Structure 1
């Protein structure tokens, strides 16, 4: 495909990074249909990350789970997710209506991930998503984990506008999180970020920062942030099944002082923590050999 699969924000991010030509090459991976081999991959997954705007236009990322088979391709351009966001999730009401969504199917145990962007419509308890973009990402920065299923009942969500001490500790120890963004037309995207524990710095109860590592030069996330700063973060607690969701705004520093090539600073405006939101429990991670050493950080 030609470079025009990118919007102006993505091209601007590629220019900032000096990777416009590499972005053109990577654009060939973006398609509108699910490859045949990817259908089996989707059917094997017990979770998918979904990014969307809520009814007030704030971006959030959430985790949808089910026994393998809950996520499946009806055909080359349509997938069904047989599950809904849990009670108290900031996207539960929004997904009861048609919505632009970004999806990330990720398999930590095998270092595989696949992104799908499109439009969802409710179908009873399920979501049917018509796809506009489908592409796989490289396996870098995915920590290896094996899941097990532990039936659970989500607890009452805890809501605030700033991070508690416990939430700050969870983020400061995280090796993985997910980010939802959108372009000016509202087309949503969900992406993965990984690194050694401590790669996300907690600068204050309302500000976090992380380095942006070398990837496929598509710059979908940073490109969206160039034109639309709204973003949502999801930090899963891999041991307990809790989810920590943040909404706010993000900006990219293309010449950071922290030692990274670039960094992203996120300002928190809303927090939702749901204990036992997920029935999945995961083994301790085997950290990716691609994880860079952490830059100098500010203690939480």
Structure 2
């Protein structure tokens, strides 16, 4: 994999360029049979992109019966359906050649797969031509053994420019969220996990979280170092409610080697019952650090 200047700068600052180069060899353009089989088993997919109208970056949740996402060739996936009516990424996924990042996460097996590329609309949904395909380790993923599907009425999204007290409480109780970032040539969607409290709503307009050690490629922080736009997605695994935030993020590097990301909110979209999936209670990852208070 060829890293852009932003990722290289973070790798060099942390001193992990050699590790990143080693891990980056596992990133390819092709979708292997095991990856194709994994995708077809998933009832949900997270996608990140920029709104072509105003450039705001969002992360959105798509759901469907297993098989709604599938590989249609060695370098392409197709997705049946699309985002919900009123979703911030509706226009982006209706456009041609939209840079997108996707992540399929299976809480049952604690496996995840990322596929970044270019999206185009199709008669039944959209397709993504793959440019980067890779798996991540199960670190910081919470296990949820089962899910059920329920019919939930469509609800109009609620929009605002900052967080309510209830939304802040929801964020601070979360054990998982997804982050979408962009750079000059593409987009990426990634996962962040930890014990409840690992992400803090420090004010109605700002969140912060510690950046836990990961695969050392620093795709997310590398993107943010060259383009601060970002989108966050929080999911209520029981009710199916979705909270989407867009804004900008910056990374603070401490002298002791720890990193903290601070996210400034510019817009909020909350959609009750956005997902039909109800997951079982989590088993927290043994890798999760204890959140600082």
Match of residue 286 from structure 2: 289
Decide which of 54, 77, 80 is 2:78's aligned counterpart.
80
Match of residue 220 from structure 1: 219
Q: Does residue 174 of the first structure (1) align with residue 174 of the second (2)? A: yes
Contact preservation (8 Å) 2:113, 2:133: yes
Contact preservation (8 Å) 1:52, 1:100: yes
Please list, as runs of the form range in 1=range in 2, the aligned pairs for 1:43-82 lying within 5 A after superposition.
43-55=40-52, 56-82=54-80
Please list, as runs of the form range in 1=range in 2, the aligned pairs for 1:1-300 lying within 5 A after superposition.
5-55=2-52, 56-98=54-96, 99-145=98-144, 146-185=146-185, 187-255=186-254, 261-296=258-293
TM norm structure 1? 0.94
CA distance in 1, matches of 2:123, 2:276: 21
1:95 Cα deviation after fit: 1.0
1:191-225 deviations in Å (ceiling 9; x for gaps): 00000000001110000000111111010000000
CA distance in 2, matches of 1:262, 1:196: 17
1:163 Cα deviation after fit: 0.1
1:262 Cα deviation after fit: 0.5
RMSD: 1.2
**Where has structure 1 moved over 2 Å in runs of 4 or more?**
none
1:66 Cα deviation after fit: 0.3
1:16 Cα deviation after fit: 1.7
Unaligned runs of 5+ in 2: none
1:1-30 deviations in Å (ceiling 9; x for gaps): 5xxx11010111111211111111111111
Contact preservation (8 Å) 2:176, 2:191: yes
CA distance in 1, matches of 2:117, 2:56: 18
Aligned length: 290
Residues 173-182 or 139-148, more deviating = 139-148
Contact preservation (8 Å) 2:14, 2:257: no
1:230-279 deviations in Å (ceiling 9; x for gaps): 000000011110100000000001117xx871110000000000111111
1:92 Cα deviation after fit: 1.2
Residue aligned with 2:90, SS: coil
Unaligned runs of 5+ in 1: none
CA distance in 1, matches of 2:250, 2:120: 31
1:94 Cα deviation after fit: 2.0
